Chains A and B, each alone.
Chain A
């Protein structure tokens, strides 16, 4: 609730964020993969040997703040890391795990995806419980979520996503470079939602910053 006078909570968090320092190389880590968008490092408190954290280089506290292209990239790198673990460590499975918000078990103030190598009987609890819901409750959940999802997918927006034309027009390829600058744009968090209905994403992010 305390208002920051100079730095926004986001900027302040960045200066103190250990994962920003790891991503930039100011703090030593065991890197297994790196590109312009992400770094993959060994977790120093691993669930199993070879437990990897995929960390975006930009500072994002929770997933909803991450631009589409970065998130897609994280997913594709996770597949690669999982494959590398299966082959290099001779394990029989992997877990991909994201905790968004304190209630979901998130502890760091920087978004990351865990990729955890697994062996039979290693006693790590990712088993997802299965419960039964009444048909009426299921139907209700479907209606509510379908509507909310259509909104978050922007399905009702008038401007549909444009199709890519790089394949057809070779000259366009040279122009592709400057697009990178745009990626940085969505860093500012969305304005706070009116209190009352639904959870506030800013609040969820702020809880981690404290």
Chain B
């Protein structure tokens, strides 16, 4: 397997701000602006589509918390949340990253695009093909619940219930 700079970063805890079982939040080593933060899944995933749904949910929830943190401490006037998914989309690491960029007026960053003019027909064609494929969205993968100890009291209840059944069975045996 190829070595991954992001996996290494997480392992070394370099610039680590927070980590849990599923994700890590680290400072960008080559920040676009001061306070540029990366959120990454701990399980290596090259692109978005390889990350389990519930981990993506957590990544965006945490991206919001990072965003709130930079609003409050760095005096940012805005934030961008960006995922560059695939080389054609500008992805440079081989590990999927959610970027949080603190923004200020005239900070030199510009993620605006030139809108394209599509004909009504082109729009409708795209709508139909996408809609068809989007039918697969839903039934999101949830985090598996961890096995739980059955409390002692409950175990006793179950045992009692079993005894009840045994009692009934014994009664049955007494039938002539």
Contact = CB atoms under 8 A, between A and B. Distances in A.
B78 A49 contact: no
B85 A71 contact: no
Given A50-B126, A104-B80, A152-B72, A92 B111 contact: no
A148 B88 contact: no
A113 B56 CA distance: 14
Interface in A23-41: 30-33, 35, 40
Secondary structure dominating the interface of B: mixed
A57 B64 CA distance: 18
Interface in A73-104: 73-89, 91-104
Interface residues of B, number: 89
Interface residues of A, number: 96
Interface of A: 30-33, 35, 40, 42, 44-50, 52, 63-64, 66, 68, 71-89, 91-106, 113, 116, 118-120, 122, 124-133, 137-138, 141-142, 144-153, 163-168, 193, 197-199, 201, 204
30 contacts: A32-B127, A32-B131, A44-B123, A46-B116, A47-B113, A47-B116, A66-B64, A68-B61, A71-B61, A72-B58, A72-B60, A78-B56, A80-B137, A84-B133, A84-B134, A88-B130, A97-B80, A98-B80, A98-B81, A99-B111, A102-B77, A103-B78, A105-B112, A118-B86, A118-B89, A131-B32, A133-B31, A144-B74, A152-B68, A164-B145
